[in-house]
């Protein structure tokens, strides 16, 4: 089998909800700030607004229902089938509220990125913004990292601070964090593309 060398890598974005990071990534691909092809959006939620965003941008999008599979492994095998159809080289998690299992982690080792709304290793978990706010941290931030089997612990690609001022409310802090995510994630994705000689998965 001859391996096909593509100049431009294909990637998929995994989502579960609002999709503001997906939107920022879509814009960055359009502006060629991310030099790769966003070939597929995968959602584990049927009514995710992110799916509507993908549709509007004419990006192939699929909902794969985790409830229709007996195990996480079966679910991820079905996802991988879809990724293979689109010859996906790497994966970007953008608000995908599901812990990845061995099958996906092995198939895309060092090729899955995630955005976390805090300065890892501080404030791991799902309520990171609130947790930093509640303990009156003066500085929190955004981290883009590789996904490994330990949750919110993979090697960091980019990180940037956000100050928490005395005037900040949880809402204003959330807005600042999201704004920074939308700037930092496309930057990190392009950094990843440029710095890695991704082995092409296509044959
Ligand atoms: C972001 O805050 C991200 O850091 C976290 O989930 C949120 C997703 O937001 N992992 P959106 O769906 O991209 O708007």
CA distance linking residue 184 with residue 161, whole number of Å = 11
- Catalytic residue, chosen from 116, 145, 178, 182, is 116
Mean pLDDT over all residues of the chain? 94
Average pLDDT over residues 106-124: 98
CB 177 within 8 A of CB 162: yes
CA distance linking residue 85 with residue 189, whole number of Å = 22
- For residue 42, report the phi and psi dihedrals to the nearest 5 degrees: -115, 130
Query: What local confidence, expressed as pLDDT, does residue 129 receive?
Result: 98
Q: Is 125 helix (H, G, I), strand (E, B) or coil?
A: coil
**pLDDT tens profile 150-181:** 999 999 999 999 999 999 999 999 999 999 99
Answer yes or no: is pLDDT of 196 > 60.
yes
Q: Is the CB of 69 inside a 6 Å radius of any atom of ligand 1?
A: no
Nearest Cα residue to atom 8 of ligand 1: 95
- Single pTM value for the model: 0.94
Query: What local confidence, expressed as pLDDT, does residue 201 receive?
Result: 52
Query: What local confidence, expressed as pLDDT, does residue 81 receive?
Result: 98
Active site residue 182: no
Q: Is the CB of 43 inside a 6 Å radius of any atom of ligand 1?
A: no
Spacing, Cα 77 to ligand 1 middle (Å): 25
Answer yes or no: is pLDDT of 197 > 70.
no
**pLDDT tens profile 55-102:** 999 999 999 999 999 999 999 999 999 999 999 999 999 999 999 999
Q: What percent of the chain is modeled with pLDDT above 90?
A: 92
Query: What local confidence, expressed as pLDDT, does residue 2 receive?
Result: 42
CA 164 to chain centre: 25
Strand partners, 90: 11
**pLDDT tens profile 9-54:** 999 999 999 999 999 999 999 999 999 999 999 999 999 999 999 9
Residues near 41 by beta carbon (within 8 Å), at least 6 away in sequence: 12, 13, 14, 15, 22, 50, 51, 54, 59, 60, 61, 62
Q: Quickly state the pLDDT bin for 195 (edges 50, 70, 90).
A: confident
Closest CA to 189 of 166, 164, 158: 158
Question: What is the β-pairing status of strands 10-15 and 37-43?
Answer: parallel
Answer yes or no: is pLDDT of 1 > 90.
no
């Amino acid at each position: 089998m001859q391996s096909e060398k593509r100049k431009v890598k294909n990637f998929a974005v995994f989502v579960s909800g609002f999709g503001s990071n997906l939107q920022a990534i879509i814009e960055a691909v359009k502006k060629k700030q991310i030099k790769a092809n966003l070939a597929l959006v995968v959602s584990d939620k049927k009514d995710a607004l992110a799916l509507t965003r993908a549709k509007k941008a004419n990006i192939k999008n699929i909902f794969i229902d985790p409830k229709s599979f007996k195990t996480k492994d079966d679910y991820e095998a079905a996802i991988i089938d879809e990724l293979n159809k689109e010859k996906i080289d790497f994966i970007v998690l953008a608000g995908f509220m599901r812990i990845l299992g061995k099958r996906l982690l092995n198939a895309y080792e060092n090729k899955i990125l995630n955005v976390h709304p805090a300065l890892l290793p501080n404030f791991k978990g799902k309520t990171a913004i609130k947790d930093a706010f509640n303990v009156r941290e003066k500085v929190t931030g955004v981290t883009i990292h590789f996904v490994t089997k330990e949750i919110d612990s993979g090697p960091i690609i980019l990180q940037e601070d956000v100050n928490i001022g005395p005037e900040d409310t949880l809402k204003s802090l959330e807005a600042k964090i999201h704004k920074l995510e939308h700037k930092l994630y496309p930057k990190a994705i392009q950094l990843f593309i440029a710095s890695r000689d991704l082995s092409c998965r296509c044959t």
